[in-house]
């Protein structure tokens, strides 16, 4: 299933099982979904606020296609979230209320398998059995979401982000074990709160997944991620907001028929140095077509 649901709701802290799995070249995916987060701000955990009590609902529309790049399979994904956020945060000792609806920052992700996942037609893919896959990806978020520089909490971030990643996926019987390491790089926001300038250090992350696939096509995974770094500077002042956070989650996907499948996923922060701890639950419907399916 197209791995964009969690990424759309939580750009830096996402967990994406099967990011580097193989699929027939020419296959298309269209995903509609809903994600709900409660607690901290899922897509910007280093805002200079405390005690976040925020609820965010996001409708997600995503498209993906399987490509052939130098004889190995690859995936191109595009996702757009439409979100509604409400709640309070504390800033300078005072509670601030925020209630906003609009577009979040869209993302584009290209994942390329480097070995172990050859580009195959649907006919040839029927006999493919995974062993070890090594892949790499680049995810880019664009500063197109709803943003107001008179507000601390926004749906958009008014900056670009770039997340290169490398990952491996090893199949052992019905189990697949995955690991990935990444770094998220941010451009400077020159129009932060009341016209301030905000920059952020790279945010490093590692994630792992243990996936069990049944013969019926149902699969589930246990997901874990750690992310650290991401300290911010506002108008030349370095903030004490180094992130050192752990999240645990789970994903369950089951087919409806040959063309449709449903995914449910959830995650929660288990340790957070900064005030960006949040709970997430989501549901997505995927339709696939093409490649002679």
pLDDT at position 7 is 46
Confidence of residue 5 (pLDDT cuts 50, 70, 90): very low
Q: Of 196, 121, 205, 131, nearest to 163 (Cα)?
A: 205
- The answer to whether residue 69 scores a pLDDT higher than 60 is yes
Pairing of strands 28-39, 260-271: unpaired
pLDDT digits (tens, 9 = 90+) for 234-247: 999 999 888 888 99
Distance CA 114, CA 37 (A): 34
Eight-class DSSP state of 194: G
Eight-class DSSP state of 189: B
Confidence of residue 6 (pLDDT cuts 50, 70, 90): very low
CATH number of the domain at 5-289, out of 3.20.20.70, 1.10.275.10, 1.10.10.350, 2.40.128.130?
Answer: 2.40.128.130
- Distance in angstroms between the alpha carbons of the first and the last residue of the chain: 15
pLDDT at position 253 is 96
**Do 249 and 230 form a contact (C-beta atoms < 8 A)?**
no
Tokens found for residue 116:
């172990």
Partnered with residue 265 across adjacent β-strands are 251, 282
Tokens found for residue 293:
């399916």
Distance CA 50, CA 48 (A): 7
Phi, psi of 109 (to 5 degrees): -135, 130
For residue 88, the tally of other CB atoms under 10 A from its CB is 16
Tokens found for residue 168:
């491996």
Give the position of tokens 């049944």. 214
The DSSP-derived string for 111-122 is EEEEES-B---H
Left (φ > 0), alpha (ψ -120 to 50) or beta: where does 292 sit? left
Eight-class DSSP state of 293: -
Please state the rounded mean pLDDT for residues 196-210. 96
Give the range with max mean pLDDT: 26-40, 42-56, 165-179: 165-179
Tokens found for residue 44:
């910007």
Please state the rounded mean pLDDT for residues 36-57. 83
Percent of the chain with pLDDT over 90: 79
Tokens found for residue 95:
């509670």
């Amino acid at each position: 299933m197209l791995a964009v649901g969690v990424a759309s709701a939580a750009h830096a802290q996402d967990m994406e099982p099967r990011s580097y799995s193989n699929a027939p070249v020419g296959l298309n995916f269209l995903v509609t979904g809903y994600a709900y987060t409660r607690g901290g701000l899922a897509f910007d955990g280093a805002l200079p606020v405390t005690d976040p009590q925020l609820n965010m609902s996001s409708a997600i529309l995503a498209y993906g296609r399987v490509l052939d790049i130098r004889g190995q399979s690859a995936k191109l994904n595009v996702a757009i979230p439409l979100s509604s956020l409400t709640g309070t945060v504390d800033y300078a000792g005072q509670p601030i209320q925020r209630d906003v609806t609009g577009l979040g920052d869209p993302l584009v992700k290209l994942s390329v398998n480097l070995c172990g996942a050859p580009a195959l037609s649907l006919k040839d893919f029927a006999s493919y059995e995974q062993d070890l896959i090594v892949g790499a990806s680049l995810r880019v978020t664009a500063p197109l979401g709803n943003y107001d520089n008179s507000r601390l909490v926004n749906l958009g971030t008014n900056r670009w982000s770039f997340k290169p990643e490398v990952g491996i996926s090893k199949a052992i019987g019905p189990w697949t074990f995955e690991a990935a390491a990444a770094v998220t790089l941010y451009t400077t926001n020159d129009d932060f709160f009341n016209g301030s300038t905000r920059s952020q250090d790279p945010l490093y992350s590692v994630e792992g997944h243990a996936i069990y696939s049944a013969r019926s096509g149902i699969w589930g995974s246990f997901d874990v991620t750690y992310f650290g770094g991401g300290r911010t500077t506002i108008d030349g002042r370095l903030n004490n907001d180094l992130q050192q956070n752990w999240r645990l989650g789970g994903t369950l996907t089951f087919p409806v028929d040959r063309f449709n499948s449903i995914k449910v996923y959830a995650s929660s922060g288990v340790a957070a140095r900064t005030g960006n701890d949040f709970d997430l639950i989501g549901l997505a419907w995927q339709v696939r077509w093409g490649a002679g399916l």
